Amino acid sequence: MGRKTTTSLMAGAVLTALLALTPLSPTGAGPARTAAANPVPRAADQGPDRRPAQPFRHPGVLVGGRQLAFVKDRLGAGAEPWKSAFAALRASRYASLDWQPKPRATVECGSASHPDNGCSDERNDSMAAYTDALQWALTHDRRYAHKAITIMDAWSAVIQEHTNSNAQLQTGWSGNNWARAAELVRHTGAGWPAASVDRFATMLRTVYLPELTPGSPRKNGNWELIETDALMGIAVFLDDRDAFDRAVTMWRNRLPAYVYLASDGALPVPPPHAGINGRDALVKYWQGQSDFRDGLAQETCRDFGHTGWGLEAAAQTAETARLQGLDLWAEGRERLVKALEFHTAYDNGAGAPDWLCGGTVKAGLGPAVQLAYNEYHVREGIAMPHTERYVAAHSPFGADYFIGWETLTHTDAP
pLDDT tens digits, one per residue of 229-258: 999 999 999 999 999 999 999 999 999 999
- 14 Cβ partners below 8 Å, 6+ apart? 27, 383
User: Which pLDDT score is estimated for 76?
Assistant: 98
Mean pLDDT in residue range 54-77: 97
DSSP state of 95: G
Question: Amino acid identity of 259?
Answer: V
Nearest to 184 by CA among 135, 246, 128, 244: 135
User: Which pLDDT score is estimated for 13?
Assistant: 34
What is the pLDDT confidence band of residue 83, given thresholds at 50, 70 and 90? very high
Asked whether residue 51 carries a pLDDT value surpassing 90, the answer given is: no
Contact predicate 236/60, CB 8 Å: yes
Residues in the chain: 414
User: Which pLDDT score is estimated for 27?
Assistant: 28
| Domain extent listing, the chain | 8-15+64-410
pTM: 0.89
Helix spans in 2-91 (H): 15-20, 65-76, 82-91
Mean pLDDT in residue range 171-181: 98
Spatial separation of the C-alpha atoms in residues 137 and 135, rounded to whole Å: 6
Which residues sit opposite 64 in a β-bridge? 60
Which of helix, strand or coil describes residue 94?
helix
User: Which pLDDT score is estimated for 36?
Assistant: 33
Mean pLDDT in residue range 138-160: 98
Contact predicate 348/341, CB 8 Å: no
Asked whether residue 333 carries a pLDDT value surpassing 80, the answer given is: yes
**Backbone φ/ψ region at 396: left (φ over 0), alpha (ψ -120 to 50), beta:** beta
pLDDT tens digits, one per residue of 393-404: 999 999 999 999
Contact predicate 144/136, CB 8 Å: yes
pLDDT tens digits, one per residue of 11-37: 333 333 333 333 333 223 333 333 333
pLDDT tens digits, one per residue of 297-318: 999 999 999 999 999 999 999 9
Q: State the Cα angle at 265 between 262 and 270, rounded to 5°.
A: 105
Asked whether residue 198 carries a pLDDT value surpassing 80, the answer given is: yes
Asked whether residue 108 carries a pLDDT value surpassing 90, the answer given is: yes
Question: What is the second-level CATH architecture of the domain 8-15+64-410?
Answer: Alpha/alpha barrel (1.50)
DSSP state of 40: P
User: Which pLDDT score is estimated for 47?
Assistant: 54
Spatial separation of the C-alpha atoms in residues 327 and 332, rounded to whole Å: 9
Mean pLDDT in residue range 274-279: 95
What is the pLDDT confidence band of residue 54, given thresholds at 50, 70 and 90? confident
Which residues sit opposite 297 in a β-bridge? 259
In degrees and rounded to multiples of 5, residue 120 shows phi and psi of -65, -40
Buried b (16+ CB within 10 A) or exposed e, 160-189: eebebebbbbbbbbbbbbbbbbbbbbbbbe
- 82 Cβ partners below 8 Å, 6+ apart? 71, 74, 75, 407, 408, 411
Instruction: Tell me what the pLDDT averaged over the chain comes to.
Output: 90
Mean pLDDT in residue range 311-329: 98
Angle between helices 333-347 and 304-323 (to 10 degrees): 140
pLDDT tens digits, one per residue of 352-409: 999 999 999 999 999 999 999 999 999 999 999 999 999 999 999 999 999 999 999 9
Contact predicate 163/105, CB 8 Å: no
Spatial separation of the C-alpha atoms in residues 374 and 159, rounded to whole Å: 36
The kind and range of the H/E element at 345 are helix 333-347
User: Which pLDDT score is estimated for 28?
Assistant: 31
